[in-house]
Structure 1
């Protein structure tokens, strides 16, 4: 290579963001050997063609990738390199989540405060309720509380609630015995998801409050700790209390409606409710709707929904038939089982002009 195309180690370091000592280390490890080494002085020189490899190497080390994995990425094709990157990041995320969980357990133990028993529930029932209600959570930057599940314990029942601001799901459970006191807290949704399998296999789960979290105590299995979120949960009771009067109601087969939503080509869905049934339509006027038999009362309405809002609200409903309580085309719709009311979901429609 002509000397004019070579750079001394100091210049190459400035252009790649690596230090001279790091370049020497990567040269000695075989990851980035210099293009030439002066046999007399021992000075190392690098070529312009090595800048890309050096820059990627620096970026990989900045995300704490081990040297062996760095070498594999640098020498792999684009598809394999992307897979190795995803694998590394997933491990980092998993390790961080495990560290957070362990830290929360340690914090709870540091105070040496005994747990406060708050409720005892059937494990399979609690697991189903957690999975159903958590579908209404959201991972939103700046609002971590939307990823959590609100647990409220009264003297008669345990209520689970979640909202992503477009949906709100709430389910009320009857404890094995009346709780001795009231309690409320917002529990980390990811921790609960990780605990669901263990909960489902336990006949009885005892909820125990501790500083910064709750324990899910299970017999002959590993107890699970879930962190509490400190942010204030949205005032969903104010929203429930301000709901308008129901002007129409429709009851439709859950399976038929889900099938229609799955077969529908659009991301936005219109439900046209009349006394003849429910028609699932798209924004494209040329696309035929999907008529569904339904029992309807009240005035005819057409409401638009995002598929990502409507589908989970319907899929988590309990029972074979789903009931829609309608208040107008711009008002929240209540979606629940036609014969069991312990899971209720509110879904916000969108304006029809959003579908243009």
Structure 2
């Protein structure tokens, strides 16, 4: 006779938010055994104390966690169980992004009229962002995609990225109307350059992604189109993620630095000494208004590399993260979005 405090499989299933057939499946899988099985009828009976495990099992399956991983979850300690959850979330998120990209490609393949509305941006803001990253493109017959600008649209922001393999610039914008879809593609730099002056005269433009072009559409129906390149853009996230930790940070006024660099030689040094930043120009140290962290260090840059990264800075202040004399430096600024540029140092000035 069954324990009167135990529940039938039907009653337990209702409380646990599972079906009776699912409970039989999880029993056979060894994940949720009943407290008691009637030896004559084979009926399964469950205890109230099993509801917590049943609820966790249901939630893990809703996350798409495989049965084998769930088995490990129930035998793991709290830290290991949390790690398994994080791994599953990461996998599901990656799969969701792939599905979104596939869906975007599929919709675009329906024809140029079938487009995805990404977001709306002020025309002058988008024009400035294009100018800020186009300086980092290059024409390389062997890698033509380096002449393009990679655009990524997400729910919260739009990012424009360009690289010539020696420098990298990423500009992030906050759209006036947020995106409801995710999309990524590399736009022809020549087309963007041609659209810049047009964009500056448009209060608002809506970005619409098609299979072969990205349309910039205004409220009065005017449209500028940029080709979507088919080549794969370099994995800039991998590059940024693989950088060593920052060892020094300099925060200075952008206009002061640019004024000094206007008269600078081809090679300049950024020096940190006694916690103070300065620029070395032909052996002369020019003190900068700002702050610096880290032990004494001097990093040399070519003017043609450093000046464009600083001249496009947003707001009044610019932050330079250093990792050593021969590792990429990161130039960062922020004002209604952010601008990030990687700049390679050069050999020390022989003078």
1:323–1:338 contact (8 Å) kept in structure 2: no
- Greater alpha carbon shift after TM alignment, 156-165 vs 266-275: 266-275
In structure 1, distance between residues paired with 2:120 and 2:221: 16
Alignment correspondent of 1:66? none
Contact between 2:269 and 2:279, CA under 8 Å: does it hold in 1? Answer: yes
Please identify, of 216-225 and 201-210, the stretch whose mean Cα deviation from structure 2 is larger.
Answer: 216-225
| 1:278 counterpart = 2:277 | yes
Give unpaired runs (5+ residues) of structure 2: 1-107
Separation (CA, whole Å) in 1 of partners of 2:177 and 2:110: 30
> What's the CA shift for 1:127?
1.4
| Counterparts of 1:341 and 1:121, CA distance in 2 | 12
The residue aligned with 1:224 is 224
| Residues 1:349 and 2:345 aligned together | yes
Structure 1 residues without counterparts, runs of 5 or longer: 1-107
Give a deviation string over 1:28-59, Cα, whole Å, max 9, x none. Answer: xxxxxxxxxxxxxxxxxxxxxxxxxxxxxxxx
Query: 2:318 matched to 1:322?
Result: yes
Give runs of ≥4 in structure 1 deviating > 3 Å: 108-113, 338-341
- Structure 1 segment 88-107 matched on structure 2, within 5 A: none
**In 1, Cα distance between equivalents of 2:337 and 2:180:** 25
Query: Could you tell me how far apart the structure 2 residues matched to 1:154 and 1:112 are?
Result: 21
Instruction: Map residues 39-58 of structure 1 onto 2, 5 A cutoff.
Output: none
> 1:100-115 alignment to 2 at 5 Å?
111=111, 113-115=113-115
Moved more, 127-136 or 332-341: 332-341
Task: Return the alpha-carbon distance in structure 2 between the equivalents of residues 300 and 212 of structure 1.
Answer: 51
Name the counterpart of 1:195. 195
TM-score under structure 1 length normalisation: 0.63
Equivalent residue for 1:306? 302
Map of 1:70 onto structure 2: none
Shift of 1:346: 1.4
Equivalent residues of 2:213, 2:228 under 8 A apart: yes
- Aligned equivalent of 1:145: 145
Equivalent residue for 1:165? Answer: 165
Query: Is the Cα–Cα contact under 8 Å of residues 276 and 294 in structure 1 kept in the other structure?
Result: no
Corresponding pairs, count = 244
TM-score by length of 2: 0.64
Provide the C-alpha distance between the structure 1 equivalents of 2:261 and 2:254, rounded to a whole number of angstroms.
11
Alignment of 1:61-140 (within 5 A): 111=111, 113-140=113-140
Question: Distance in 1 between the 2:112 and 2:171 partners?
Answer: 33
The question of whether the paired residues in 2 share the 8 Å contact of 1:275 and 1:295 is answered with: no
Residue of structure 2 in register with 1:268 after alignment: 267
Deviation at 1:291, TM superposition (A): 2.7
- TM-superposed CA distance for 1:221, in Å, is 6.3
- Aligned with 1:129: secondary structure? helix
The alignment yields a C-alpha RMSD, in angstroms, of: 2.4
Alpha-carbon distance in 2 for matches of 1:338, 1:127: 17
Give 1:297 deviation, angstroms: 1.4
Contact 1:332-1:346 within 8 A present in 2 as well: yes
